[in-house]
Structure 1
Amino acid sequence: MSALRWVLAGSTALILHGAVWYAISVNANTSEGDAMDTGEMGIDLGVGQLGSYADIQERLTQLERPEPVVEKAPEKPKIIEKPIQKKPIVKAQKLTEISFKADDIKPKEQSPAEETPVEQPNDESKETLPEPEVKAATVQAAVKATGKSEQSQSGGVRGSAKNYKNQLNRWLAKYKRYPSTAKKEKQEGIVRIAFTMDRQGNVLNRQVDTSSGYPYLDAAALKMFDDANPLPPVPDDFAPGRMELPLVMPIDFTLITNTSFGD
């Protein structure tokens, strides 16, 4: 009897323990299944009041996003307008054109810078120069007046201021040549040559002051001064005190008087 009781008691204890363990196991499995079902389906998570995941992320982004800084537009500098000062209108003065020519410079006592055309014999008028008398006194007077003597290479001796202009004309006439081309084409005209000479008669420079309109005649006038250099010496009473004399000489090229020209 006692052994049977112990067996029954042990069996009962085992049954009770097994029942308790079963009950605990069933409760545990039920709780775990409920949690998994709820988590997988996502129906009863209770996050509906907080909004969707996208809404939450947007709010978080808005919170993290810094407020835009509104930059103030730079203020435009104020333009201070200065009063315009009216400048006085200065009337332009007319400039007086001053033309300087070599023939404007004249000596105190005489005026050799005036235009002195080279004397040429005229066939129509048939005027002839008076022949000097063959006398010793007359020859000496002619030498004194014209400055011509044995010193022909340098233009002769110094004459007087009154006769120097004629002396210079006669000296230049000896070297005057009428270009053959100009003769064929019947070119005529007056060339004004501006030149500077020293008191010994040396031509320092020469140039065409006024052209005749024909290059051949202009070139012939310049060559005449080159060939006639040196000119007759300047008399002491002609522009005294001046070492250089600027002069202007008109050279007339006319076919009527071409007999006085060399070919």
Structure 2
Amino acid sequence: MRRITARHWAIAAGVALALHIVVLVWWYRMPPTTAAGAIDEGAGGIVIDLAPAVEAMPEPEPEPEPEPEPEPEPEPEPEPEPEPEPEPEPEPEPEPEPEPEPEPEPEPEPEPVVQPPPPQPVTPPTQFVPEVEGGQALDRGGDLQAREDYTRTIQAWLDRHKQYPRQALLRRQSGVVMVFFTVSRQGEVLATRIDQSSGHRLLDDEVEELLQRASPLPPMPSHLSGDRFEVVVPIAFSLM
């Protein structure tokens, strides 16, 4: 129901007062009448039936009660955060493989005992073997100088082709090899033999290879008689 407020009562009182004022003004302006003039009710007279000043105003309908505000929906409870998944347990570190035992180092080969080089032997002079007929050496007189010259030529030729064996150098081997060989007039080596060893197999073998490597030797000179030349030549190997 609507409630009647003070404002409504003030408006109703104002309206009633205005109606009373209108009726009073109209009544004062009416001409006066005699008593005779109003013989009978309703004949020649005016009957004023004053209405009640104010009709009873109907009680205003009460204002409807305001609809109750809907209760706010309860805020949804926040969903609980999911519990973090447990971290996976770290895999156990593999046990380190045992380090392989170091292989025993091979024992170093004993270094060859370095022997001090023997005193350099005095290179014997080149010897030539004269040709023999009937067991007697031929005396050729003038051939002697020619033979010495040819022997020196052969010596120089062999020195140019000589090589020092590598293993002999590492072992610091040195010495002199006396080699005998026979040469044809064209310089071909026909036969060889070691007359005196150096004391080292490596050096002796090198001399035999030297004669093969250096062959053919320079040919015999034309003024040298005979069809072959036999000679003993020293081949020296020195570390100095």
Structure 1 length normalisation: TM-score? 0.37
Q: Which has the greater radius of gyration?
A: 2
TM-score when normalising by structure 2: 0.40
Structure with the higher fraction of residues in helix conformation: 1
